[in-house]
Chain A
Amino acid sequence: MKVQIDPQRCHGHGRCYTLAPALFGEDDEGYGQVIGDSAVPPDQEHAARLAASNCPERAIDLVEEA
């Protein structure tokens, strides 16, 4: 699984870096950023889903790999 943030939709609510701090961080203005190469380790999949399903702007996409 991979995660990505749509910067056009993100308005810095910060739900992602609060709920999944291993996957997301904030930039200097509070917008969410994906940490590292966007690959989600298996033990972080639940956190990734939580972040995506709690983003008020629906700015987070989860890409399931085949």
Chain B
Amino acid sequence: MTLDDRFTRDFRETRGDQPLGTRNEIVTGPVSDWATDFSHLEPEWAADPYPIQDDLRRRCPIAHTDRFGGGWLPTTYEDVAAIAYDTERFSSRSIIMSNFRPPRELAPVGGTPPISSDPPFHHDARKLLLPAFTKNAIAKREESTRALCHSLIDAFEGRQDVDAAHDYAQHIPMRVIADMLGFPPEDGPRFREFIENALEGINRPPEERMERMALLFDYLLAQIRDHVDNPRDDLTTYLINAELYGRKLEPAHVAGTMALLLIAGIDTTWSAIGASLWHLAKTPADRTRLVAEPELLPTAMEEFLRVYAPVTMARLVKEDMHWNGVDMKAEDWVLLSFPAANRDPAQFERADEVVIDREVNRHVAFGLGIHRCVGSHLARMELKIALEVWLERVPEFSLRDPAAVTWAAGQVRGPRTLPLRVTYA
């Protein structure tokens, strides 16, 4: 057996060899004017960002902030689409808007390829992942996902009060992605900490964020080493053995892609399942219709993805430029709000209404262009099975206390506490 010596050094040691990024002053606290001082991390945004986005779309439509070292928030479908397609002028070097910009030298690979990669590298890094995430490949996981959903309900069946975010939604993507990566299923609670840091802990002191990020990479390295010693049929072993340009991947590429799959695969789908159940809990007409017409679920699900799209991406402006009426500077952030695009009345009829039998639904919940969410078929499978099993086993449910529902702040938005009163079938 040949020793794979790519993974003998700790990432903590090798990080010292890399150039530094740039930091800015951290600004928190109430927003003075959403058009000039927006922050997607403030509680008002987390609780209900849609009226804010609708207002900005009417009066800006591209908002600005000096927070995070400077950034922009386009709110029309047209602008969001144009930026998603324009990988020449907008870089994916960092896709989480924070108070730290990674060094320019990190492009075109970025820290978590391929989501953080720019062309031409992006295409090749993405191609490695696509076969594992096709609709056909994902369909093989349907049966085990269905069994998992049933077992989660078995565990709380009989209780009248259930937290659908905590007791149900979060476990589904967590277990599925742990299984795909070949991580121990009992490590779920640790994933939660990694994700919280990466996506919600944006305004923490940088030293703290870096230390927490290092813990994630320590964990990934331990998993990689275990897979080097004991190869198996999962994505970790696949990435360890994968080749690009005739050689095995750089160690940082292997770990960065694993970090991406872990972080992007959990919060997002958790949010989509939770937001759908939240809507059905407070909308009895839609709930009873879906219980009576389960064949409508695939259509209804697309509407939930449109109207409660969980994911917002970010880009970095490459060079100073005048763009659609505003003066963007190199290194400005752009918050790429798929949720705002999905509620643009210029693109969607009755944009602010939830129409569960909407036939024409060109929503962009999974993005547009070359960065289309690589896990979209997985997310749709999980969302469909999670809702199907829930509606079959728990046909009646309502919000126990609407004010007790809490939502994640930041670029992935969905319910994190969802207390329901339920009746079983």
Most chain B CB neighbours (cut-off 10 Å) among A14, A53, A55:
A14
A18 contacts which chain B residues (CB < 8 A)? 135, 298
A4 to chain B, nearest CB (A): 18
Contact present for B368 and A26 (CB under 8 Å): no
In the bound complex, how far is the Cα of B302 from the Cα of A50, in angstroms?
13
Say which residue of B298, B368, B377 sits within 8 Å of A30 (CB atoms). Answer: B377
Chain A, interface SS category: loop
Q: B363 on the interface (CB 8 Å rule)? A: yes
Report the bound CA distance from A14 to B372 in whole Å: 11
B134 at the A interface (CB under 8 A): yes
* Set of chain A residues within 8 Å of B360, measured between Cβ atoms: 50, 53-54
Interface contact B364-A56, CB-CB below 8 Å: yes
**Residue B355 is within 8 A (CB to CB) of chain A in the complex:** no
**Count of B residues near A, CB < 8 Å?**
22
Q: Are A11 and B131 in contact (CB under 8 A)?
A: no
Q: Measured between alpha carbons, how far is A13 from B84 in the docked complex, in Å?
A: 15
**Does B156 sit within 8 A of A, measured CB to CB?**
no
Nearest chain A residue, comparing its CB with the CB of B126: A29
Interface set, chain B 326-359, CB cutoff 8 A to A = 359
* CB atoms of B127 and A29 under 8 A apart: yes
Nearest CB on B from A27, distance (A): 8
A30-B130 CB under 8 A given contacts A11-B370, A12-B372: yes
Residue of B whose beta carbon sits closest to that of A58: B362
Task: Assign chain A's interface to a size class.
Answer: 10 to 19
Q: Does A57 contact B (CB under 8 A)?
A: yes
Residue of B nearest to A31 (CB): B130
Cβ of B363: which chain A residues have Cβ within 8 Å of it? Answer: 56
Dominant secondary structure of chain B at its interface with chain A: helix
**Shortest distance from the beta carbon of B39 to any chain A beta carbon, whole Å:** 28
Q: Is B133 located at the chain interface by the 8 A CB criterion?
A: yes
Residues in B with CB closer than 8 Å to A17 are: 135
The answer to whether B362 and A56 touch across the interface, beta carbons within 8 angstroms, is yes
Whether the Cβ atoms of A11 and B372 lie closer than 8 Å is yes
Query: Which B residues are in CB contact (< 8 Å) with A14?
Result: 135, 376-377
Within 8 A of A (CB), among B263-318: 298, 302
Whether A13 lies near B135 (C-beta < 8 A) is no
Query: 8 Å CB contacts to B: which residues of A11-38?
Result: 11-14, 17-18, 26, 28-30
Across the interface, which residues of B come within 8 angstroms of A26, CB to CB? 134-136
Bound Cα distance A30, B372 (Å)? 11
CB of B266 to closest CB in A, whole Å = 21
CB-defined contacts of A11 to chain B, threshold 8 Å: 368-370, 372
A-B contact pairs, 23 of them (CB 8 A): A11-B368, A12-B134, A12-B372, A13-B366, A13-B372, A14-B135, A18-B135, A18-B298, A28-B134, A30-B130, A30-B133, A30-B134, A30-B135, A30-B377, A50-B359, A53-B360, A54-B360, A56-B362, A56-B363, A56-B364, A56-B368, A57-B369, A58-B362
Q: Which 3 A-B pairs have the closest CB atoms?
A: A29-B130, A30-B134, A11-B372
User: Which B residues are closer than 8 A to A by beta carbons?
Assistant: 127, 130-131, 133-136, 298, 302, 359-364, 366, 368-370, 372, 376-377
| Interface contacts beyond A14-B135, A30-B135, A56-B364: sample of 7 additional A-B pairs, CB < 8 Å, sorted by A | A29-B127, A30-B134, A53-B359, A54-B361, A56-B363, A56-B368, A57-B369
